């Protein structure tokens, strides 16, 4: 399937479904090393996104239009760290995707822009036990797949697989950014909730293109 506006709309609706399905899991992960609101925050945000999509008068013209709607809605409805972080990620991704359809390089640019937004906002690097640990390998795998001649859908699949490994890689890490850093070494042995939600969202991006 092409990675176009219909794909973007499907990705967003799938994201809302998967976040609702995994709401309690994300709450539990955040309860272990944070304040337990990550699942609620994201679920509220994506529900609001779907309400806005349903109310659109005419279909969005570009992938970026869809991602911008997600960005502004998450920024205004999701609290905590994740609202501004994901809001910035989708906003930067939107700016990189002002076209009706993405080729493989366009998919890479979208993912790299999202990562850059998160890093610009949260100032975390790899290994600090945040969503950056899922987004960074996702962006790297996407770029590697595209330079190897992968289709846009294959690039998304590579990103999703790498995000899953990246999320898993946060388990032994000590958090040095965000609320989990207050726990110091006691944050070890737990999966970072934001890296898990990143994995879920990128898996839906791939699923919507397959
Ligand atoms: P809060 O921590 O304010 O309660 P959430 O629970 O919604 O916000 O989100 C927590 C997630 O945000 C963490 O699991 C982590 O992945 C991500 N996060 C927190 N701080 C940063 C940061 N500085 N950079 C990148 N991601 C971060
Ligand atoms: Mg929290």
Is any atom of ligand 1 closer than 6 Å to the C-beta of 166? Answer: no
Q: What are the tens digits of pLDDT across the range 108-145?
A: 999 999 999 999 999 999 999 999 999 999 999 999 99
User: From the CA of 153, how far away is ligand 2's center (Å)?
Assistant: 32
Residue 209 in this model has a pLDDT that exceeds 90: yes
Q: Given pLDDT bands bounded at 50, 70 and 90, which one contains residue 1?
A: confident
Is any atom of ligand 1 closer than 6 Å to the C-beta of 192? Answer: yes
List the domains of the chain with CATH numbers.
Answer: 5-209 (1.25.40.340)
Q: What are the tens digits of pLDDT across the range 144-194?
A: 999 999 999 999 999 999 999 999 999 999 999 999 999 999 999 999 999
Residue for token digits 């709607």? Answer: 69
Is any atom of ligand 1 closer than 6 Å to the C-beta of 9? Answer: no
Neighbours of 186 (CB within 10 A): 13
Q: Probe ligand 1: pick from 178, 182, 191, 197, max atoms within 8 Å of CB? A: 178
Instruction: Round to whole Å and give the CA distance between 121 and 88.
Output: 7
pTM above 0.85, yes or no: yes
Instruction: Round to whole Å and give the CA distance between 5 and 190.
Output: 36
Atom 14 (ligand 1): residue with closest C-alpha?
194
């Amino acid at each position: 399937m092409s990675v176009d506006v219909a794909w973007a709309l499907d990705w967003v609706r799938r994201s809302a479904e998967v976040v609702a399905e995994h709401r309690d899991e994300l709450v539990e992960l955040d309860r272990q090393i944070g304040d337990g609101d990550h699942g609620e925050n994201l679920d509220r945000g994506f529900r609001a996104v779907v309400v806005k999509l349903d109310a659109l008068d005419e279909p969005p013209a570009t992938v970026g239009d869809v991602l911008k709607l997600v960005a502004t809605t998450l920024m205004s409805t999701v609290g905590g760290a994740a609202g501004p972080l994901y809001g910035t990620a989708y906003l930067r991704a939107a700016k990189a995707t002002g076209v009706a359809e993405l080729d493989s390089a366009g998919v890479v640019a979208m993912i790299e822009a999202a990562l850059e937004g998160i890093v610009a906002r949260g100032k975390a690097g790899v290994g600090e036990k945040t969503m950056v640990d899922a987004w960074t390998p996702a962006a790297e795998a996407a770029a590697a797949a595209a330079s190897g001649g992968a289709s846009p859908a294959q690039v998304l699949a590579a990103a999703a697989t790498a995000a899953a490994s990246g999320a898993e890689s946060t388990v032994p890490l000590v958090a040095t950014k965000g609320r989990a850093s207050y726990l110091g070494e006691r944050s070890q042995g737990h999966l970072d909730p934001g890296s898990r939600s990143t994995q879920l969202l990128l898996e839906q991006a791939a699923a919507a293109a397959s």
